[in-house]
């Protein structure tokens, strides 16, 4: 746990200069918000692992068994990647960054906390993971509805996708990894395409068709794939997750997840 905590702290420290390199008040504000949330989450992780070592005498990540410690670690890692209800920092931070750093924040920075969540998922309270998953999917759908800023839209899309990944984690970790891979691919496509077009608002995309038709088509397909429209790749993990949830006798959960995907799809279609 000490090594995991150190890795997470180095990870945070390494991206801070990238976020603050523009010397713009918004970039500085985003960097400060990010730093505070990540430091809080890392402190919670250290606290929970110390508590587990104190009560159970075990520093091993796979052997974390004290219920209070597992819950605290799960919530801390949820805060680190921006799962609802600890998601409030993510849209604000992403909005203050340029597209390249935003890409790093949305993809690479998720891997370390996710590795830890995967390792402790079998010892975590299932109700907690399900609640985090459903809430994130709903918040990701509702939050993106009235946004015009593309970076905020991508932030809410990130929250919704993380919800899908977390909800299936305890039943089929392989599906979570599949979803993560597809999400990272699609989000990278989106960020890099937007970077080429230097557009950060929806209305600038509306004017892009005469200038770069091919790239605009690519962006449209990536957005629809992120939303999970059937013939495209992004539909596959959602379908498999809903199928698995139905197999696990969780029809109501599956229904709520499907409805929240509809909410997300609405703003992707727009």
What angle is formed at CA 263 by the lines to CA 259 and CA 267, rounded to 5 degrees? 160
Mean pLDDT across the chain: 95
Q: Which two tokens stand for residue 207?
A: 């004017």
pTM for this model (two decimals): 0.95
Q: Mean pLDDT across the stretch 176-182?
A: 97
pLDDT digits (tens, 9 = 90+) for 134-167: 999 999 999 999 899 999 999 999 999 999 999 9
Report the alpha-carbon distance of residue 44 to residue 251 in Å, rounded: 34
pLDDT digits (tens, 9 = 90+) for 18-56: 999 989 999 999 999 999 999 999 999 999 999 999 999
For position 162, what pLDDT does the model report? Answer: 97
Q: Which helix (H) or strand (E) holds 48?
A: helix 25-56
Phi first, then psi: give them for residue 249, nearest 5 degrees: 60, 45
Q: Mean pLDDT across the stretch 159-177?
A: 96
Q: Mean pLDDT across the stretch 208-219?
A: 92
Three-class secondary structure of residue 201 per DSSP: strand
For position 146, what pLDDT does the model report? Answer: 87
Q: Give the bridge partners for 201, in sequence order.
A: 149
H helices of 88-172, where?
A: 89-95, 99-106, 108-120, 126-143, 150-168
Q: Give the bridge partners for 149, in sequence order.
A: 201
For position 270, what pLDDT does the model report? Answer: 84
Residue 258 pLDDT class (50, 70, 90 cuts): very high
Q: Give domain limits for the chain.
A: 1-121, 125-269
Asked whether the predicted pLDDT for residue 207 surpasses 90, the reply is: no
Report the alpha-carbon distance of residue 36 to residue 23 in Å, rounded: 18
Q: Which two tokens stand for residue 65?
A: 């068994």
Q: Mean pLDDT across the stretch 76-98?
A: 96
For position 249, what pLDDT does the model report? Answer: 93
For position 160, what pLDDT does the model report? Answer: 97
For position 191, what pLDDT does the model report? Answer: 97
Q: Give the bridge partners for 228, in sequence order.
A: none
Q: Do residues 186 and 222 lie in contact, with contact meaning Cβ atoms separated by under 8 Å?
A: yes
How many Cα atoms occupy the beta-carbon half-sphere of 239 within 13 Å? 10
In this predicted model, which residue has the larger pLDDT, 270 or 232? 232
Report the alpha-carbon distance of residue 24 to residue 89 in Å, rounded: 18
């Amino acid at each position: 746990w000490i090594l995991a905590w150190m890795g997470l702290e180095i990870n945070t420290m390494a991206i801070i200069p990238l976020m603050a390199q523009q010397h713009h008040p918004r970039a500085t504000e985003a960097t400060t918000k990010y730093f505070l949330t990540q430091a809080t989450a890392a402190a919670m992780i250290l606290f929970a692992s110390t508590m587990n070592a104190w009560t159970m005498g075990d520093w091993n990540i796979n052997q974390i068994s004290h219920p209070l410690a597992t819950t605290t670690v799960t919530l801390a890692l949820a805060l680190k990647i921006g799962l609802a209800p600890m998601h409030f920092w993510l849209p604000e931070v992403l909005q203050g960054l340029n597209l390249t750093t935003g890409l790093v924040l949305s993809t690479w920075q998720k891997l370390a906390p996710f590795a830890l969540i995967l390792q402790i998922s079998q010892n975590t309270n299932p109700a907690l993971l399900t609640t985090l998953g459903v809430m994130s999917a709903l918040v990701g759908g509702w939050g993106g509805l009235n946004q015009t800023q593309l970076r905020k839209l991508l932030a809410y899309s990130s929250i919704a996708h993380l919800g899908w990944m977390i909800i299936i984690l305890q039943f089929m970790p392989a599906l979570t990894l599949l979803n993560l891979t597809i999400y990272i691919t699609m989000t990278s496509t989106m960020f890099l395409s937007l970077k080429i077009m230097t557009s950060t608002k929806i209305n600038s995309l509306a004017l892009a068709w005469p200038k770069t038709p091919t790239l605009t088509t690519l962006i449209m397909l990536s957005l629809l794939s992120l939303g999970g429209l059937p013939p495209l790749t992004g539909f596959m993990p959602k379908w498999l997750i809903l199928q698995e949830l139905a197999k696990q006798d969780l029809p109501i959960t599956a229904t709520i997840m499907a409805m929240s995907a509809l909410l997300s799809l609405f703003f992707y279609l727009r």
